Amino acid sequence: MNLGRAYIRRGTWQAALGGLEAAARLAPADRGARKMLHEIRAWFN
């Protein structure tokens, strides 16, 4: 999730999306990762 946050700060949205998807797969119980992933996906819509 921290890598996803770093990518968001840099403005590399595609990389942030990939990082957060990986974090959500690796730790499905992590609410923060799922929330950030949902927010990133909303930005793309």
Residue 44's pLDDT band (boundaries 50, 70, 90)? confident
Which tokens hold the place of 15?
A: 């990389």
pLDDT at 1: 66
pTM for the structure as a whole? 0.80
Q: How far apart are CA 28 and CA 8, in angstroms?
A: 21
Phi, psi of 30, deg, nearest 5: -75, 105
pLDDT in tens, 4-36: 889 989 999 999 999 999 999 999 999 998 999
Three-state DSSP state, 1: coil
DSSP 8-state secondary structure symbol assigned to residue 17: H
